[in-house]
């Protein structure tokens, strides 16, 4: 039952029934609603600041997962970089030096400019983009390690053939020269014995009596064995492989034929003075990758360090050549 309210009217001195006007009722309702809205807004503001919404909870969970993956990637990245640096060092500084192979140029690896650009780009990335970029770089590093592994497979083949290569590289003198007195002329510009002008001498001249044996200085296959039409006289050219060729000129007589396989120390012929020559001697040349080089550096099987120093001084003297 609805309560009826009364008030005491001082003018009539009676209790009269309290009647609330429609205007007052509307104002009261509006005031209540306004207070409720303000209170609700304040409550929601506090809730959003203190409590996470479902969306924020999902984002926070995703961020934690991404941070874990990022830390895992960073750890893996450091491990991969360390492995790659060791592989590159061993490849360039050890194995390729041993086998005289060209090192992998730094330009084929990640350059400093590329790294700086990558860091600049990553600075503007979001977390997910950083993870994607890091994952891509990790894949690149793994790919480069695979390439490096293939390089090691090639070097492994060289290791297996190391004994063959060492036996093939010229490493002894072409004639017996224990007292080191048979070098008559060295490599470089010398006085031509016939024209008496300074000309380029592309080998070493070993003076020796006619008939002295001439030896192959490394394993290989005879490429030429004939009379030369350019001044070498009776000469032999041996292809040792690995970019090495040797030439033996002015022979009295040739023992081998083209296509003959020879071993280091095999007799190729005998010292003579055929062709453009002023006396019995063996003109000896060494080629590396098509370029004539000083043969004095290819006697390491024959000489001690002291003997090499003596031979180097003899070969460097500016005397007249024999051819």
Round to whole Å and give the CA distance between 72 and 133.
Answer: 14
pLDDT digits (tens, 9 = 90+) for 187-241: 776 666 555 656 777 888 888 899 999 999 999 999 999 998 888 899 999 999 9
- The CA distances from residue 10 to 7, 13, 16, 252, in Å, are 9, 5, 10, 159
From 119-123, 172-176, 195-199, 319-323, the region with the lowest mean pLDDT:
119-123
Are 281 and 207 in contact, with CB atoms under 8 Å apart?
Answer: yes
pLDDT digits (tens, 9 = 90+) for 253-288: 999 999 999 999 999 999 998 988 888 989 999 999
Are 167 and 106 in contact, with CB atoms under 8 Å apart?
Answer: no
At residue 113, the pLDDT reads 40
**E-assigned strand segments in 33-187:** 183-185
**Two tokens, residue 322:** 């024999």
Are 316 and 186 in contact, with CB atoms under 8 Å apart?
Answer: yes
Round to whole Å and give the CA distance between 312 and 74.
Answer: 56
State the CB neighbour count (10 A cutoff) for residue 238. Answer: 27
The whole-chain average pLDDT of the chain stands at 78
At residue 116, the pLDDT reads 47
- Maximum CA extent, the chain: 165
pLDDT at 184 over 60: yes
Rounded to the nearest 10 degrees, how much is the dihedral formed by the CA atoms of 29, 31, 37, 41? -170
């Amino acid at each position: 039952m609805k309560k009826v309210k009364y008030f005491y009217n001082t003018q009539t001195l009676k209790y009269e029934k309290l009647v609330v006007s429609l205007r007052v009722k509307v104002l009261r309702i509006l005031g209540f609603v306004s207070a409720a809205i303000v209170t609700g807004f304040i409550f929601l503001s506090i809730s959003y600041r203190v409590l996470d919404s479902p969306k924020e909870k999902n984002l926070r969970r995703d961020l934690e997962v991404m941070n874990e993956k990022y830390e895992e990637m960073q750890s893996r990245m450091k491990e991969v970089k360390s492995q790659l640096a060791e592989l590159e060092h061993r490849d360039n500084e050890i194995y390729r030096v041993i086998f005289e192979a060209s090192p992998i140029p730094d330009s084929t690896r990640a350059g400093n400019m590329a790294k700086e650009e990558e860091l600049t780009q990553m600075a503007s990335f979001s977390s997910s983009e950083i993870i994607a970029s890091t994952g891509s770089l990790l894949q690149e590093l793994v790919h480069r390690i695979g390439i490096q592994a293939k390089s090691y497979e090639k070097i492994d083949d060289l290791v297996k053939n190391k004994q063959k290569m060492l036996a093939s590289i010229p490493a002894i003198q072409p004639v017996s020269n224990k007292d080191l007195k048979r070098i008559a002329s060295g490599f470089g510009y010398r006085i031509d014995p016939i024209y008496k002008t300074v000309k380029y001498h592309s080998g070493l001249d070993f003076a020796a009596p006619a008939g002295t044996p001439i030896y192959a200085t490394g394993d290989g296959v005879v490429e030429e064995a004939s009379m030369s039409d350019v001044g070498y006289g009776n000469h032999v050219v041996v292809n040792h492989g690995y970019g090495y060729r040797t030439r033996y000129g002015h022979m009295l007589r040739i023992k081998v034929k083209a296509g003959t396989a020879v071993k280091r120390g095999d007799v190729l012929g005998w010292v003579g003075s055929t062709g453009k020559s002023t006396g019995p001697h063996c003109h000896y040349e060494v080629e590396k990758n098509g370029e004539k080089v000083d043969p004095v550096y290819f006697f390491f099987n024959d000489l001690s360090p002291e003997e090499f120093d003596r031979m180097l001084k003899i070969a460097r003297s500016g005397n007249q050549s024999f051819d």
